[in-house]
Structure 1
């Protein structure tokens, strides 16, 4: 998260702040944009003494930056911290939040890592800075206003608080530049469906309006999404453009991601849990960071971000699982903190995404799911609070059982390490899970939907994979049986029970009506493919290739191929693995990667 390497020839202000200076003369552009004094390039100032004078001047500069940020709060949300249009991203006024909030040694040692846990301790000026970054007290492009109606000739803008109850509330829409509008639509139509391939809510279920609303009132998320859209457009839609052009969008994406991280850092320093609105926004920003990791190949820092998200998710599960959608956990400006319809849709989607990732990545992390103790409340019953099949395609009942297999795996390894493993208990628990999976398999409808009309390999514009949820559920169920047998008996590919499920999975994969469905089956492909025999190995690589997976493709698909190849290599060479994290987690550790399976 460092804002740049320290310059030895930059202005004294940038050198004091340990920030990269553009070295424009007589005063640098960085200081000008931050609204602070540039102390030039002359002889070393007296206060630059590596002692009390330097500390005092550093505190003074930080105060000046925060004062400038508050003065500019009305325009912060209408300016990108990393302009989509310029090759060199401007320095965001909020960048100084990093210098103020993050210990210097931490930023230097882990430049790409952010602590997404939620410590306490801050002051009111930090709250004002957070509010401006959140868009809580500013709008994306100017202030929304209320206009007088009811026959009044005075159509001048008046504050909403002054409008009478009989006035018509007419809101002026935010102004979005043409290029930004194009990128925003590309994100909504193509990038978001690539991130969440099975999510296709009906208008009666609220559609995706909540997403647009959240983007427009959360500037860090908005600019991150635009930068991600620009980068994907370059990589996927224009693969033959120059490397220089791709480098520009990559730099913009990195700057926007840094701004998102800085916002979360500011939130981390706030006292107490914050408001409901703030928690929704910080959770969607963290999950967007996890989603970005998935787009980048799915191996960097996602476990850190998931741990940070868990604190906020725990607060929301209490609301979702209650019957009246109330909570006293958050600061509130309205009585009882009742969730609006849009807020409830948003919270359920975010918790669903977290729950899916938490469950699927048991095999990558070798741990029990964080939400294991409340899966029955969250996912069980005829009308569960959240429906994972609406988000990732697999039925809730199967995902609950996958979570229990992950818990069984962790229990077995810990019991073995302590010399207390009971084989009777292991087999008893496994048998119960196997019966549950077989029941789930028998409930899957036998009819299959026809092939859908996909516009292109990369964009899922009007069609999503949601019509193929039965395929996804069956693939997850068969692979869960393989997962269970590996946990009980070890990764023995030729065991009859493992062979039976692998063969059924292979048959299902060969019947997929659309190659693109493989993008919704990364978890089943990894689990089942790792137990494939040599004659079956090519099928799994071909499946991923036919779905569009290649080295430059967004997503974890290419890294899944690497993990599968390592599984096959170790089996051929009889190269043993330590049984410490679980079979798949140990394989990934041997490759120095942990692939996020989404």
Structure 2
């Protein structure tokens, strides 16, 4: 009898109707119980029994409605937590350069406030689930040290536990082998898809540094797995409903790895802030790698406004690594490591991991800064770094020495010549100047045309030189794309059919830049002869691309040409994307197509005041096409 009385539970009838419907325990708080408040859903706590609580179809319909509300609010909570987690780590990173006395104001200020921020971050993190908190188990992310000190990786990397022999599988951490496979998918397929032109010569170190960074930077490791999970799920499903279950499992893997990557980024930021002025370029480079990897993930998967925060933080960190443009070579040389390459190689040693990483991420942040300036309607923030880091005039002697710690050549990273990247940034700066002058009521059309003519002449001269090279390389009776694999640097392996040739790539980008310039000078006039001719040439070149996947490197020119194309060409542009298959949703081609569809739907409402920046913002948020 005693045991029976002790086990008996008195059920309360004062719980809210929402919790009763969901069969959840209610704390009976008013006006909103903690359960409904945590999920941000409607708390039905009226005294009278609702009409829909009838035990029949209406109750079932309300249950489905609340379930949908829980799912919707979970997505919004996840977005807010995502932003909060990143903001908490980058709050103390500013665009202020270090002081002349050698101290870093952005890193040392507010040290007391930042104390323990890593633990606060971990406490704030909550699972996406609407019922249970996140499991405390993190597969493959429980090493004693996250290697945020910037020192050389240990003898056994933190994730060496994953590399188990078949007879040790029973002792391996759950999901360890899965992570290794996804990392290989990232290295074999995702990275080459995102950066098809990046094929550094072996004597310059090759791409081995990518694996080294994955081994030593846990945030990059987890974000790479997230990208690989997303890419794999796209290829696996191929738009077929029967693979929906597998796709959902891949999405769950993506979310889990991204959350762990954000945690590691927060820890790295906390360690950097705690070190203050003692943190050097190596420590800051670790954080820069993680932030830019997050930016790449955001742009490749959703391309919402989150990329702006990533870019602000990345530029701030870059300015702390290289406070002045003239320090580029000095900082790059200072990142040399004695662990690899071995000193016995002499002066011909390849770049170390940190040197190769800084070169790669510097080229990409300069490129992203230029493309973001178009959307943000401002001059590139790193424009003063362009001349010393990516000089417009290539020096043959520096280009021939692949181990030189000198200027970068952007075609080796993005497929674009240095001056092409610079001219696009100059046009964006001209557009920002025009709008500033117009707001101030002091715009001089004559000065605008004069400034634009300098750029127009440069673009036309560049196109003429490239067309001359075309005629010299391509037989008259062969298609123009017969030069595939010929236009490469002698020290590089031939460009394969994974990407369009460099020369074609630059011609298309220059045509897009010329169109962009005409819109800045003359306004949105698709019927203007110069604009119509340029758009027609781009349409022809894009249509004749030998590989449809090559379109992924041409999202911005593709979008510019599509937005200004006549109505009869709409099907042509849709067909280009359709030929890419399921992989078209990975990267920025999908966002470019969405922009074009929105512009086409408003053809009759668009006047001459429309411009390229408005196209990039027509979806309700700024889009970054890289």
Query: What TM-score do the two structures reach when normalised by structure 2?
Result: 0.65
Specify whether residues 110 and 350 from structure 1 end up closer, same or farther in structure 2 by C-alpha distance, changes over 3 A only.
Answer: closer
Give, in whole Å, the separation in 1 of the partners of 2:244 and 2:484.
Answer: 33
Aligned: 1:308 with 2:281: no
Q: How many residues in Structure 1 have an aligned counterpart in Structure 2?
A: 455
Helix, strand or coil for the counterpart of 1:272? helix
Compute the RMSD of aligned alpha carbons.
3.9
Distance 2:83 2:352 in 1: 40
Structure 1 counterpart of 2:215:
216
What SS does the aligned partner of 1:370 have?
coil
- The answer on whether the counterparts of 2:484 and 2:500 sit within 8 Å (CA) in structure 1 is no
**1:318–1:327 Cα contact (<8 Å) kept:** no
Task: Please give the per-residue CA displacement for 1:421-461, whole angstroms capped at 9, x wherever unaligned.
Answer: 11111111100000111111122231345568xxxxxxxxx
Compared CA separation, residues 218 and 250, structure 1 to 2 (3 A):
closer
In 1, Cα distance between equivalents of 2:384 and 2:447: 20
Structure 2 residue runs of 5 or longer lacking an equivalent are 1-24, 28-33, 40-78, 94-105, 122-143, 164-176, 340-349, 396-405, 474-480, 486-494
The CA distance in 2 between the partners of 1:176 and 1:422, in whole Å, is 64
- Check 1:484–1:298 CA distance in 2 against 1; reply closer, same or farther (3 A cut): same
In structure 2, the residue matched to 1:121 is 110
| Cα distance change, pair 311–228 in 1 and its aligned pair in 2 (3 A) | same
Question: What is the match of residue 256 of structure 1?
Answer: 260
* CA-CA distance at 1:136 after TM superposition: 3.6
Q: 2:250 aligns with which of 217, 230, 246?
A: 246
Aligned partners of 2:500, 2:83: CA distance in 1, in Å? Answer: 43
CA distance in 1, matches of 2:384, 2:366: 12
Q: 2:571 maps to what in 1?
A: 538
Alpha carbons of structure 1 residues 392 and 326: separation in structure 2 relative to 1, 3 Å: closer
Structure-1 residue corresponding to 2:55: none
CA contact (8 A) 1:390 1:466 kept: no
Q: Tell me, what secondary structure is at the counterpart of 1:114?
A: helix
TM-score by length of 1: 0.68
Higher helix share: 2
Alignment partner of 1:349 is 2:368: no
Q: Give me the whole-angstrom Cα distance separating, in 2, the residues matched to 1:237 and 1:554.
A: 13
Match of 1:388 in 2: 410
Residue 597 (structure 2) aligns with: 565
Deviation track 1:58-79 (CA, whole Å, cap 9, x = no partner) reads: xxxxxxxxxxxxxxxxxxxxxx
Residue equivalent to 2:290: 285
**Would the aligned equivalents of 2:483 and 2:501 in 1 still touch at CA under 8 Å?**
no
Aligned to 2:557: 524
Work out whether 1:502 is the aligned partner of 2:559.
no
Partner of 1:530, secondary structure, is: helix
Q: Tell me whether 298-307 or 242-251 shows the greater mean CA deviation.
A: 242-251
- What is residue 574 of structure 1 aligned with on the other side? 605
Aligned pairs (5 A) from 1:79-478: 110-111=83-84, 114=87, 116=90, 118=93, 119=106, 120-122=109-111, 132-136=145-149, 144=155, 174-177=160-163, 178-239=177-238, 240-242=243-245, 244-263=248-267, 265-267=269-271, 269-270=273-274, 271-272=276-277, 274-317=279-322, 321-322=326-327, 324-326=329-331, 341-380=352-391, 381-383=393-395, 385-444=407-466, 445-446=469-470, 447=473, 448-449=481-482, 463=496, 465=498, 468-478=501-511
Assess if the C-alpha contact under 8 Å between 1:387 and 1:396 holds in 2: yes
* Residues 286-327 of structure 1: per-residue CA shift (max 9 Å, x gap): 000100111213223101110111122224455875475248
5+ long unaligned stretches in structure 1: 1-6, 10-15, 22-105, 146-170, 453-461
Counterparts of 1:436 and 1:292, CA distance in 2? 35
Q: CA deviation at 1:507?
A: 1.9
Q: CA distance change for structure 1 residues 231 and 565 in 2, over 3 Å: closer, same or farther?
A: closer
Distance 2:433 2:204 in 1: 39
Residue 135 (structure 1) shift: 4.8
Q: Relative to structure 1, is the Cα distance of residues 510 and 587 closer, same or farther in structure 2, using a 3 angstrom cutoff?
A: closer
Name the CA distance, whole Å, in 2 between partners of 1:369 and 1:333.
36
Q: Measure how far apart 1:544 and its partner are.
A: 2.1
Deviations 1:487-521 (A, max 9, x none): 00111000111111111112212321211111110
Deviation at 1:128, TM superposition (A): 11
Structure 1 distance, partners of 2:256, 2:520, is 44
1:554 partnered with 2:559: no
Contact (CA 8 Å) 2:158, 2:215: kept in 1 or not?
no
Matched, 1:583 2:611: yes
Q: Classify the secondary structure of the residue corresponding to 1:484.
A: helix
